[in-house]
């Protein structure tokens, strides 16, 4: 039976005032409806924000370690329900079950990290320039956070945002991607069960145009956190900028893996296969460029073609399947169009380049693992984010050229180099313009306790994950405490007696 989902506002499951709904279907089998969701309006957003604003007043007074304990319980419930959540996620997003287990695990890790962080959430203490005076900082919540999440990590990314926002003492209104609304709703259900007070966590389903825009424009939303395309990110920055809201943006990538001639080629092969075709290439961190040294170019291309053509494509619920569908037909058309562009640009297509419609796969949105070689710096397939299983291979001769090719894009999220030369590895870590560099590892695989984010058009300078995310969700307050009993003037009464 198809599950009917609702919005969660003020501790209650409610329909949209519009009474309209939308469906969510399985990208591996378009006949299967995963759930029915409320198609909400600006009015629903307004209700949610009003309630969240009231709930904030008491939530902000709950001691941080106590907030952390509730989030720790949320982690415990996710551990118990991990398999069920992973299965649901595969049904609505398409990626293979091993990966959705990982996605849920990333949520669990984030919850446990927050549980611990609740006992720190450090400020600083520092000396004053005046005697009998101390100075320190504390972190204060901002208010109501508007969290707009993407479809490619339906559990991990909502957790990356919701959990630190809550630990910091904010209340939240979540607008999950309408392609994957079920998993985020389960997270809200779990947070409720874990003991988050009424009104502190709210979810409103619907389109970006209606629900997303209403969240953006609401004057009582103090901070917006968004993961998605650079195009939408720029629009969010524009609106929030005018309203002087804090905004954290995690946007596109055109990540590359460099393979030097001295690399362990078998290891580099495993890395690029996982980086390029894991999650069907639908990660912000996916490897969409392979920068290959000329001395190993032909050999490595043969190796990767050999392996990539054997990737088992199918429904991600089958344990042996290695690559699931892409999210929907529109996205598959975008990918296919890039393949057309690549051919027109005279890059050489050596694998894939078509829909995959064998057997049961004809019912879903499958695409073949695709490889272009002889791609030149500056081609569109080398510059633009494709968000699908398409790898562009570029040849280089000297290390400095590889770095130049790597850096010559408008994005800068993740990057990787395979080499056995320690000096080159460290030089690459220094020279690559990206938020993340992996040495002898693929471009994917970020862990929840480290900063995550990128440079250039990948974002606006913020980092999620680790301690860094608390910079997004807290205001810093500086406290000067003068216990001298007299007026002491900073910058004036500061001379030292001889």
* Catalytic positions, written as ranges: 250, 284
**Of the residues 8, 151, 153, 473, which one makes contact with ligand UN1 according to CB under 6 A:** 153
Question: Which residues are CB-contacts of 400 (< 8 A; sequence separation ≥ 6)?
Answer: none
x/- binding map, residues 285-304, to ligand UN1, per CB under 6 A? x-------------------
Nearer to ligand UN1, 210 or 385 (CB): 385
**Of the residues 29, 90, 152, 183, which one makes contact with ligand UN1 according to CB under 6 A:** 152
**Which residues from 86-115 bind ligand UN1, rule CB under 6 A?**
106
**Of the residues 70, 424, 444, 472, which one makes contact with ligand UN1 according to CB under 6 A:** 444
Question: Whole-number minimum distance, CB 442 to ligand UN1, in Å?
Answer: 9
Question: Whole-number minimum distance, CB 303 to ligand UN1, in Å?
Answer: 23
Question: Whole-number minimum distance, CB 390 to ligand UN1, in Å?
Answer: 16
Report d(CA 180, CA 26) in Å as an integer.
10
Question: Whole-number minimum distance, CB 325 to ligand UN1, in Å?
Answer: 17
Question: Whole-number minimum distance, CB 451 to ligand UN1, in Å?
Answer: 12
Question: Whole-number minimum distance, CB 160 to ligand UN1, in Å?
Answer: 8
Which one, of 27, 82, 39, lies nearest residue 313 by Cα?
27
**Which residues from 185-224 bind ligand UN1, rule CB under 6 A?**
none
Residue 144 found at the interface with ligand UN1 (CB under 6 A): no
Residue 446 found at the interface with ligand UN1 (CB under 6 A): yes
> Residue 415 CB: number of other CB atoms within 10 A?
29
Nearer to ligand UN1, 169 or 176 (CB): 176
CA distances from 398 to 250, 261, 401 (A): 32, 10, 5
Residue count, binding to ligand UN1 (CB under 6 A): 10
Query: CB under 6 A: which stretch of 19-27, 280-288, 324-332, 420-428 binds ligand UN1?
Result: 280-288
Hey, what are 346's tokens? Answer: 């005279």
x/- binding map, residues 230-269, to ligand UN1, per CB under 6 A? ----------------------------------------
Query: CB under 6 A: which stretch of 22-30, 351-359, 360-368, 444-452 binds ligand UN1?
Result: 444-452
Which residues of this chain interact with ligand UN1, rule CB under 6 A? 106, 152-153, 227, 283-285, 444-446
């Amino acid at each position: 039976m198809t599950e009917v989902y609702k919005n969660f506002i003020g501790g209650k499951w409610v329909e949209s005032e519009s009474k309209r709904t939308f469906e969510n279907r399985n990208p591996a089998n378009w006949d299967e409806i995963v759930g029915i969701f409320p198609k909400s309006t600006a009015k629903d957003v307004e209700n949610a924000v009003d309630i969240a604003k009231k709930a904030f007043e008491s939530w902000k007074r709950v001691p941080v370690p106590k907030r952390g304990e509730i989030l720790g319980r949320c982690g415990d419930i996710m551990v118990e329900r991990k398999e069920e959540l992973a299965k649901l996620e595969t049904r609505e997003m398409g990626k293979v079950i091993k990966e959705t287990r990982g996605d849920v695990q990333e949520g669990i890790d984030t919850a446990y990290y927050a549980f611990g962080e609740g006992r720190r959430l450090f400020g600083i203490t520092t000396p004053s320039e005046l005697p009998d005076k101390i100075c320190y900082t504390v972190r204060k919540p901002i208010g109501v956070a508007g969290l707009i999440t993407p479809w490619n990590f339906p559990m991990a990314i909502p957790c990356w945002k919701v959990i630190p926002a809550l630990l910091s003492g904010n209340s939240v209104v979540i607008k999950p991607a309408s392609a994957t609304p079920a998993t985020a709703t389960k997270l809200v259900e779990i947070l409720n069960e874990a003991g988050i007070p009424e009104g502190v966590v709210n979810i409103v389903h619907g389109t970006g145009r209606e629900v997303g825009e209403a969240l953006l424009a609401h004057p009582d939303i103090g901070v917006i956190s968004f993961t998605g395309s650079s195009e939408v990110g720029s629009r969010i920055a524009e609106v929030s900028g005018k309203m002087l809201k804090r905004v954290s943006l995690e946007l596109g990538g055109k990540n590359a893996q460099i393979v030097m001639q001295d690399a362990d080629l078998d290891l580099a092969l495993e890395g690029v296969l996982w980086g390029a075709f894991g999650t069907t290439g639908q990660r912000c961190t996916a490897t969409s460029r392979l920068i290959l040294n000329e001395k190993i170019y032909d050999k490595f291309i043969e190796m990767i073609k050999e392996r990539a053509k054997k990737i088992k494509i199918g429904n991600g619920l089958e344990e042996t399947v290695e690559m699931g569908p892409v999210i929907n037909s529109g996205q598959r058309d975008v990918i296919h169009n890039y393949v057309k562009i690549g051919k027109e640009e005279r890059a050489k297509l050596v694998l894939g380049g078509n829909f995959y419609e064998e057997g049961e796969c004809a019912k879903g949105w499958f695409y073949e693992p695709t490889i272009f070689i002889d791609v030149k710096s500056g081609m569109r397939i080398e510059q633009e984010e494709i968000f699908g299983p398409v790898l562009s291979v570029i040849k280089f001769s000297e290390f400095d050229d590889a770095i130049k090719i790597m850096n010559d894009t408008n994005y800068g999220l993740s990057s990787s180099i395979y080499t056995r030369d320690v000096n080159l590895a460290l030089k690459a870590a220094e020279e690559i313009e990206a938020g993340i560099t992996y040495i002898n590892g693929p471009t994917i695989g970020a862990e929840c306790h480290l900063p995550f984010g990128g440079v250039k058009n990948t974002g606006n300078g913020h980092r999620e994950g680790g301690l860094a995310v608390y910079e997004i969700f807290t205001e810093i307050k500086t406290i000067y405490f003068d216990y001298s009993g007299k007026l002491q003037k900073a910058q004036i009464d500061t001379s030292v007696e001889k």
